[in-house]
């Protein structure tokens, strides 16, 4: 599975260096995206959900630090590599000691320095992926965490899917609509985790969230958050769930 890296720098030659070093790193599992402003970086982050960000500090419409801190509010585990001057690093480390950054690259940096920072960051990204899966729809992506994702269901007669997940900060279950999405596509996206299972032709459930099975006529499974009863239909789906309840 490929990793997506977002490099943000307003100097084209700096972006060219990152692109050259990325290609020279001999890794074939990397897709590189670039941005030259804070606004563009945030826009690409929202659409593409990258696995790693390489950011310069000074940008035309703000700072890389401000952009990164905004992104970390949404995804606090995302690996970040800063590339700037040594003076900038002293400032960033002095004012944000509690913020975890993977590495700092002092311009100009060598291929070996870039490779070391890149490999370290991607090892972190791989660990993070164990608890996440990414669903792509057109030009945008959604990241689901296994410790909050509950279940997803299709909308009858439409190529849309509604996914439900728990928001720990406000202690409630919310939903998101995924257009041009099917149960099959959703299962494929989450296949690596082995956690999402089909319990009905129109439902998929996070097996890590199953608490029990309601053996009434209409059927249903209890999920960890709230009193959700997800209907089950068809013997093959019920039989399959016995391994998880």
227 shares a domain with 187: yes
Identify the pLDDT of residue 110.
Answer: 95
Q: C-alpha distances in angstroms, 59 versus 62, 93, 103, 116?
A: 5, 19, 19, 25
Does position 242 have pLDDT exceeding 90, yes or no? no
> What is the residue range of 209's domain?
145-241
Q: Is residue 9 part of a domain?
A: yes
Identify the pLDDT of residue 179.
Answer: 85
111 shares a domain with 211: no
| Interval 120-162: pLDDT, tens | 999 888 877 667 777 877 667 777 888 789 999 988 777 789 9
HSE-CB of 9 using CA atoms within 13 angstroms: 20
The CATH number assigned to the domain holding 211 equals: 2.40.50.1020
Identify the pLDDT of residue 98.
Answer: 46
215 shares a domain with 125: no
126 shares a domain with 151: no
48 or 23, which is more confident: 23
Q: C-alpha distances in angstroms, 153 versus 63, 178, 203, 206?
A: 41, 10, 5, 12
| Interval 56-97: pLDDT, tens | 989 999 999 899 988 888 777 789 998 987 666 666 665 555
228 shares a domain with 166: yes
pLDDT tier, 115 (very low <50, low <70, confident <90, very high otherwise): very high
Q: Is residue 137 part of a domain?
A: no
Q: What is the pTM of this model?
A: 0.59
How many Å from the N-terminal Cα to the C-terminal Cα in the chain?
Answer: 31
152 shares a domain with 212: yes
Percent of the residues in the chain that have a pLDDT greater than 90, as a whole number: 31
**Domain endpoint, select from 74, 97, 130:** 130
Identify the pLDDT of residue 139.
Answer: 66
**Domain endpoint, select from 79, 99, 130:** 130
**Measured between alpha carbons, how far is 22 from 217 in angstroms, rounded to an integer?**
57
Percent of the residues in the chain that have a pLDDT greater than 70, as a whole number: 84
The CATH number assigned to the domain holding 13 equals: 3.40.50.2300
**Measured between alpha carbons, how far is 41 from 20 in angstroms, rounded to an integer?**
20
Helix (H, G, I), strand (E, B) or coil at 204: strand
97 shares a domain with 200: no
**Measured between alpha carbons, how far is 45 from 71 in angstroms, rounded to an integer?**
8
Identify the pLDDT of residue 160.
Answer: 87
**Domain endpoint, select from 84, 104, 130:** 130
111 shares a domain with 163: no
Does position 18 have pLDDT exceeding 90, yes or no? yes
Does position 169 have pLDDT exceeding 90, yes or no? no
């Amino acid at each position: 599975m490929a990793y997506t890296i977002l490099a943000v720098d307003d100097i084209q030659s700096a972006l060219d260096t990152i692109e050259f070093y990325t290609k020279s790193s001999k890794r074939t599992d990397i897709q590189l995206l670039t941005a030259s402003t804070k606004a563009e970086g945030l826009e690409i982050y929202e659409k593409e959900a990258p696995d790693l960000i390489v950011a310069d500090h000074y940008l035309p419409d703000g700072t890389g630090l401000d952009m990164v801190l905004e992104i970390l509010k949404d995804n606090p585990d995302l690996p970040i590599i800063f590339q700037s001057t040594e003076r900038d690093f002293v400032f960033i480390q002095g004012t944000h000691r509690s913020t975890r950054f993977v590495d700092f690259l002092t311009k100009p940096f060598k291929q070996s320095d870039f490779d070391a920072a890149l490999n370290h960051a991607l090892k972190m990204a791989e660990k993070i992926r164990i608890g996440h899966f990414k669903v792509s729809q057109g030009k945008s992506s959604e990241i689901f965490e296994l410790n909050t994702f509950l279940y997803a269901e299709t909308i009858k007669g439409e190529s849309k899917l509604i996914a439900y997940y728990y928001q720990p900060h406000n202690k409630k279950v919310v939903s998101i609509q995924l257009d041009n999405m099917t149960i099959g596509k959703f299962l494929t996206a989450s296949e690596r985790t082995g956690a999402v299972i089909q319990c009905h032709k129109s439902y998929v459930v996070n097996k890590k969230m199953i608490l029990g099975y309601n053996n009434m006529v209409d059927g249903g499974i209890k999920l960890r958050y709230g009193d959700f009863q997800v209907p089950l239909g068809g013997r093959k789906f019920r039989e399959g769930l016995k391994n998880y309840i």
